[in-house]
Amino acid sequence: MTFHTSIKAALFGLTALALGTAAQADQLADIKAAGKIVTATDMHYAPFDMLNNGKYEGLTKDLFDEVAKELGVEPVYQDIPWTAELPGLEVGKFDIIIAPVTITPDRVERYTFTLPIADASVALIKAAGNTELTKPEDIKGKTVGVQQGTAQARILQTFGESLGGVNVKEYGTTDEAYADLAAGRLDAVTGSLPNLTYLVSNRPETFALFDPPQYGEPSYFAWVLRKGDDSASFAKAINDALLKMTDDGRVKAIQEKWLGSYTELPREVPTN
């Protein structure tokens, strides 16, 4: 065997070994072997994720508790700022983002989404005593708060441009935006309809929905995994669990508990 032949054979062997290792990589198998799923969410996004006297609760937790039971593992819940979640997922700091993430075409290109867990239509709220603003188009020239780095921020920017201009003010959490709206430092706040409906129902003396509250195209929230073949079985297991929970009524019960009503969700992952 010549020197060049030996090098070629060695390189071929290393390539085959790498391909074999990649083929064997399976995130679901690793999770089951560890007996736990490490998650990330922002626990300041009621009614999906919130801290009540230091205890984590909300629609997301109730749903994922049931999913984890179906997979036979324990969930590990971590409170991570939204802006750090997608970068943290990409470098493997956790297995899945369970913060409700809006499905968008550009994100579908980069990440693996589960089936939708809730409606994510974009809406607007104002101060309860504000009679100047009614329909979404009335925010032209006004100052509107939104959580930084969200799909809602991009949709607001686009909508504002179509109106001729809106002063967009971004916040680290929705709670900060709500506080500034209540204090009169904002004219309105935009976010997902479920979040804002929950807020208004709990604080009707402070906040009110626009009429109609929604603007933009319909959208959905889902959970996010890393892209790649190693996450395929993990995503399928979660989707199978969500479909089972939909069919046996658990999803409906959890939605009604936290949102006050039930919205039938797609049984396939939307791609646009």
Alpha-carbon gap, residue 254 to 98, rounded angstroms: 15
Mean pLDDT, residues 110-135: 96
Fold: same for 25-119+220-259 and 122-214:
yes
Q: Quick one: pLDDT at residue 272?
A: 67
Q: Is the pLDDT of residue 11 over 80?
A: no
Alpha-carbon gap, residue 32 to 30, rounded angstroms: 6
What superfamily in CATH does domain 25-119+220-259 come from? Periplasmic binding protein-like II (3.40.190.10)
Average pLDDT of the chain to the nearest whole number: 91
The band of 9, judged by pLDDT with boundaries at 50, 70 and 90, is very low
All structural domains of the chain with their residue ranges: 25-119+220-259, 122-214
**pLDDT tens profile 188-228:** 999 999 999 999 999 999 999 999 999 998 899 999 999 99
Q: Is the pLDDT of residue 182 over 50?
A: yes
Q: Quick one: pLDDT at residue 218?
A: 86
Q: Is the pLDDT of residue 260 over 90?
A: no
Mean pLDDT, residues 249-264: 94
**pLDDT tens profile 137-159:** 999 999 999 999 899 999 999 99
Q: Quick one: pLDDT at residue 2?
A: 47
Q: Is the pLDDT of residue 35 over 50?
A: yes
Q: Quick one: pLDDT at residue 271?
A: 79
Q: Which CATH class is domain 122-214?
A: alpha beta
The band of 1, judged by pLDDT with boundaries at 50, 70 and 90, is very low
The CA-atom distances, in angstroms, between 182 and each of 9, 31, 125, 203, 207 are 70, 43, 11, 10, 8
> 119, 104, 132: which is closest to 210 by C-alpha?
132
Give the global pTM: 0.79
Mean pLDDT, residues 179-187: 98
The band of 71, judged by pLDDT with boundaries at 50, 70 and 90, is very high
Alpha-carbon gap, residue 18 to 191, rounded angstroms: 45
> 84, 119, 140: which is closest to 217 by C-alpha?
119
Q: Quick one: pLDDT at residue 22?
A: 41
